[in-house]
Amino acid sequence: MPKSSPVAVQLVIQNGASWLRAVLDSIRAQTWQDLQVFLLDYDSGDGTADIVRREYPEVRLFHARENRGIWQGSERLLEEHDAPFILVLTDVVLDPQFIERGIHALQAQPDAGAVQAKIYRGVMANGHMERTNHLDTIGFRIAPSLHITNLGHGERDEGQYDHLHEVFGVEGAAPLFRRTALERCRIQGHLVDPDYQLGGIGYGDDVDLAWRLQLFGFTTLFVPTMQAWHDRSTTKDGARNWRDAVRRVGARRRIALAKRRLDWANVRFTIIKNARAGNLVRQFPRIVLRELAVFGYMFLFEPAVFGAFPRFLRLLPRMLARRHIVQAGAVHPAVTMRTWYQYP
């Protein structure tokens, strides 16, 4: 594959003027020059489109009135180019060699469908990303309960993740994909599940896609020299036990109820569609224990999330139909997928 392989950088934005310049400037500073930048603006009212037209004429700007979320917007942008590599970007500031190092990793391993960067926590203030040495994510990991979380989240970077290796899945803040892998993973014509979106709010599309990439035989590489900074808008610390969960109650309540309901439903839909039957049976006790813990937490602290049940039940037959398609296309058996179960 030639060194100068085209890369499409895709941004989907609504009212992103406060951070847009920092992100686009980091794209301009990339050492990989064969780039096209595509931006879909969901009818922003803060001058986002004006900034792009006036200050970044190299960016191809598209508009949509209805907010369909980052991932469905990214799927829409895929129709505008045929680049073999795609970087899906949000409010993330990139190191100048981010794309170059990612492309070299993909070129060196033809079965890799995506690469995951070492993404640090950042704080966006006055249009500038304040950088920290604490990790936001180095990719997804999966537990025996089939619960998926961000590996490294909240840890101080002390070199513990400085080696290139495979991870279960690429997280959605700044994933770099091989286009052929994405096209192989379409289900019913869609790259991401359209039912993971509700009224401009989406959740779990990246987890669903990452799991499907694994099932369909593509590896995901963690490349520690790819570095970026992300100001995560949701809760910034994971809950490892009940004490942690209680401490997060206030932060959780600041998240829109619709998003919390979507979170609950889409996590279960992702397991329903992607988990191999043998693993569902084998891990059933752990799955049940986790679900009981989640229900207990909801009953005590977030009873309004139970309002997700009617929609969940209505969509369940559709998800079971998609499970049939996903499982028919999977190449990795249950025993292979089980090698990713990393922690209690």
Q: Would you say residue 294 has pLDDT above 70?
A: yes
- 1 pLDDT band, cuts 50/70/90, is very low
- Please provide the average confidence, as pLDDT, over all residues in the chain: 93
Please indicate, yes or no, if residue 156 is contained in any of the structural domains.
Answer: no
Please indicate, yes or no, if residue 221 is contained in any of the structural domains.
Answer: no
Please indicate, yes or no, if residue 269 is contained in any of the structural domains.
Answer: yes
User: How large is the average pLDDT for residues 141-152?
Assistant: 96
Please indicate, yes or no, if residue 40 is contained in any of the structural domains.
Answer: no
Domain count along the chain: 1
User: Terminal CA-to-CA distance of the chain, rounded, Å?
Assistant: 41
Please indicate, yes or no, if residue 303 is contained in any of the structural domains.
Answer: yes
- 234 pLDDT band, cuts 50/70/90, is low
Burial 83-110 (b: 16+ CB within 10 A, else e): bbbbbbbbbbbbbebbbbbbbbbbeeee
Please indicate, yes or no, if residue 77 is contained in any of the structural domains.
Answer: no
Q: Would you say residue 290 has pLDDT above 50?
A: yes
Please indicate, yes or no, if residue 311 is contained in any of the structural domains.
Answer: yes
Q: What is the pLDDT of residue 2?
A: 47
Spatial distance between the Cα atoms of 113 and 106, rounded to a whole number of angstroms: 8
Q: Would you say residue 244 has pLDDT above 70?
A: no
Please indicate, yes or no, if residue 284 is contained in any of the structural domains.
Answer: yes
User: How large is the average pLDDT for residues 168-174?
Assistant: 96
Q: What is the pLDDT of residue 8?
A: 98
Range of the domain at 253: 242-338
The alpha carbon of residue 28 and the mean position of all alpha carbons in its chain are separated, in whole angstroms, by: 23
Percentage of residues in the chain having pLDDT higher than 90:
86
Q: What is the pLDDT of residue 3?
A: 55
